[in-house]
Amino acid sequence: MARRSFLRHLAALPLVAVASARAAENPKKQLRIMMKSAWGSDDPTKAAFAFLHGHALAEAGHELEIFLLGEAVTLMRSSVAAAVVPVGWPPLSEILAKVVARKIPVYACGACCRARGVTEQDLGTVSAKFGSPAIFVAMVEWADRIIAE
């Protein structure tokens, strides 16, 4: 038994060496990532993912922008953000504070905001801006990766 285990580890050594060499050759690339979400307060955990994952990606050194549409724009109201508590995670208001501190750009679809009564004042509390189809297209063209939450 011990002999098989030893031989299995011995056989894996060339693979480990190749993986290490590749990691040394290819330093981590900084990505430009667009996060898109339409999840609102009806599913608090899914609603928080764009911000949770966006913050984690920014911490890892990637450049990030978030675009909200549909029900997700209501998360820009401070009263809604305070009431949204994802399962297993801190309240959305705490997560948004981290996103704001990192200066991650957040855009909320202007038409979706108007339809749901989300105002410029609501957006200002989290340093967000109204988005438009042109801004959405520009973000898609800018991004190396698009993540739809």
pLDDT digit string (tens) for 41-87?
999 999 999 999 999 999 999 999 999 999 999 999 999 999 999 99
pLDDT at 35 over 70: yes
pLDDT at 7 over 90: no
Distance CA 131, CA 110 (A): 5
Confidence of residue 27 (pLDDT cuts 50, 70, 90): confident
Sort 104 into a burial class: Cβ within 10 Å, 0-12 / 13-18 / 19+.
Answer: buried
Locus of tokens 């909320």: 108
Give the residue extent of every domain in the chain. Answer: 32-148
With a CB cutoff of 8 Å and minimum separation 6, the contacts of 7 are: none
Q: Which CATH number fits domain 32-148: 3.40.1260.10, 3.40.50.2000, 3.30.70.1350, 3.40.47.10?
A: 3.40.1260.10
Q: What is the pTM of this model?
A: 0.81
Q: Give ∠ CA 105-39-143 in degrees, rounded to 5.
A: 40
Q: Quick one: which of 108, 126, 127 has its CA closest to 118?
A: 108
Confidence of residue 146 (pLDDT cuts 50, 70, 90): very high
Q: Say if strands 129-131 and 106-109 run parallel, antiparallel, or are unpaired.
A: parallel
pLDDT at 1 over 80: no
